[in-house]
Amino acid sequence: MERAFFAKDASYDGLFYTGVRTTGIFCRPSCPARKPLRRNIEFFPSVDRAVFAGYRPCQRCRPLETDGRPPDWVERLLAMVDADPERRIRSADLRAMGLTPERVRRHFQRNYGMTFDAYCRARRLGGALEQLREGADLDSVAYDAGYESLSGFREAFSRHFGTPPGRGRRGEFIRVAWLRTPIGPMVAGATDEGLCLLEFTDRRMLERQLSILGRRFKLSLVPGDNDHLRQTKDEMDGYFAGDLREFTVPLQIVGSDFQQRVWNALQRIPYGETRSYKQLAKSVRSPDAVRAVGQANGMNRIAIVIPCHRVVNADGRLGGYGGGLWRKQRLLALEQGQSRID
């Protein structure tokens, strides 16, 4: 997908879509627009997945039609939604435009994999999630998204994002907050027991990451703060200043027995040192499981604190890193005293 997108290969149009984080749009592979940096894109298998992730269609490559030219009446509808995503377009509005709701529903279902109502709802929910993620009040977000009742908003949110937006406020939940670092923003999540998520926000689709976390812990996620998140922020500041070499924030890790053994072994790699994947495999008493160790390393959800960046190839080359090799290089340089990250 990456090769096809950067080569503007039209033969892949309709097979996948590319979201551009810096602009909030999604495109076809053949989009003629200037291509963004690799770390600023993510891929989707369908239109509905891109829209529900909060992206809007590109006006240059028009990904909502394989030939880039939707019928005039569809173009008018899409323009209405783009101009005011919170507007509720009802059957009476469609009839006033000379359209039958049945025709509109069939066209959107056949071409985009969802009804027109679902498309409008996705655009509203994408914006609502962004507001909640930034700490907005649940009530105001629900009404801004065009829902006449909180129950309707909760039901729609739960259906599309996997967790009710405010359920956790009545009991245990995962608080989620943003952290600014010198090498890019991160999102942190913590329960009452400890830190359970620390990821660079451009590593993967954030909504999917949060949804996976909620399912694994069987808890709701809400924007907020707690002692563990505050401690994480303080320790991260100390780490990047070069003053802190060992994190003490409590962790709550969920994974298979093998994954947890690998993640525990990562925490035993001393600051400023590296280990090969083979050495890491030996340390968890599975010397032949180098590939499995690499996969577990890549599944680490608590970056830096669980230092998966300290694992390199046997020949000393950096190898892969979910946050990007440039970040891995800077983190290792910081720990080895070669540079300071300001």
Our answer to whether residue 120 is catalytic in this structure is no
DSSP 26: E
Contacts of 13 (CB under 8 A, 6+ apart): 28, 29, 30, 66
HSE-up (13 A, CA, CB side) for residue 303: 23
Query: Quick check: 303 and 232 in contact, CB under 8 A?
Result: no
Give DSSP secondary structure letters for 180-243: --TT--EEEEE-SS-EEEEEETTSS-HHHHHHHHHHHHT-EEEE---HHHHHHHHHHHHHHTT-
Distance CA(125)–CA(158), nearest Å, equals 11
C-alpha pair distances (Å), 292 with each of 184, 199, 229, 297: 29, 21, 31, 8
Contact 213, 220 (CB under 8 A): no
Q: Could you give the CA distance from residue 297 to residue 280 in angstroms, rounded to a whole number?
A: 10
Indicate the DSSP class of residue 61.
T
* CA separation for the pair 183, 144 (Å, rounded): 33
User: Residue written as tokens 């409008």?
Assistant: 120
Name which of 129, 191, 194 is nearest 163 in CA terms. Answer: 129
- Residues 58, 120, 196, 308: which is the catalytic one? 308
Q: How far apart are CA 279 and CA 314, in angstroms?
A: 9
Long-range interactions of 87-92: CB distance < 8 A, separation 24+:
87/146, 88/120, 88/146, 89/116, 89/120
Catalytic residues: 308
